[in-house]
């Protein structure tokens, strides 16, 4: 049996988010404990993939070089702890482009499944927005919410979205560290 997979959103889950977008390497700052949580998941036998909307590319707010530098910093921070991320999948499109990869559409998650040879049924998808949760449901994965980033705002909007179930039906965690604790305890 292969190692279990967990899929993470990036902005608001791994690093601090901004209403003005994360546009530079200096603005990319890990949420305290997130890198360590990812490393613990790796050491605990989990494969980690990231699915992130990056419409700042389409908006001209950052370049692919800058985005790659952010992702390299993430990889370097994980490598310093003997850990890694298997795959970072991102949507470069704007919200009005109608692509299949921009969450809440399932394209990013389906791409991860194909590239990693994974079955997404029941895979935890940890995010901070309704888009993350909806994308998880569309592929049969398990939506998990963190309160960091937009998580608190998302939590208040869950009752408006019956497809996400009654409040309390989706696991909610203070941060990625708390979610990792639950995943590792379940192993």
Cβ neighbours for 28, distance < 8 A, ≥ 6 positions apart: 15, 22, 70, 73, 74
Residues carrying an active site annotation: 9, 11
| Residue owning tokens 């909007």 | 157
Tell me whether residue 26 is exposed, middle or buried, using C-beta atoms within 10 angstroms of its C-beta: 0 to 12, 13 to 18, 19 or more: exposed
Distance of CA 93 to the CA centre of its chain: 17
Contact 63/71 with Cβ under 8 angstroms? no
Element (H, E) at 176: helix 176-186
């Amino acid at each position: 049996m292969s190692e279990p997979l967990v899929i993470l959103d990036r902005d608001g889950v791994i690093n601090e988010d901004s209403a003005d977008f994360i546009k530079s390497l200096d603005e990319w700052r890990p949420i305290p404990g997130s890198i360590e949580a990812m490393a613990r998941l790796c050491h605990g036998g989990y494969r980690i993939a990231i699915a992130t909307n990056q419409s700042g590319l389409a908006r001209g707010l950052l370049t692919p070089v800058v985005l790659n530098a952010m992702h390299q910093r993430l990889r370097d921070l994980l490598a310093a702890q003997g850990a890694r991320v298997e795959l970072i999948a991102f949507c470069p499109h704007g919200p009005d482009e109608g692509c299949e990869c921009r969450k809440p559409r399932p394209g990013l998650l389906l791409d991860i499944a194909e590239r990693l040879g994974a079955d997404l049924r029941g895979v935890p998808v940890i995010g901070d927005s309704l888009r993350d949760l909806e994308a998880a449901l569309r592929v049969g994965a398990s939506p998990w919410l963190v309160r960091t980033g937009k998580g608190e705002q998302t939590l208040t909007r869950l009752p408006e979205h019956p497809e996400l179930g009654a409040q309390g039906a989706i696991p909610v965690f203070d941060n990625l560290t708390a979610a990792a604790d639950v995943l590792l305890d379940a192993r």
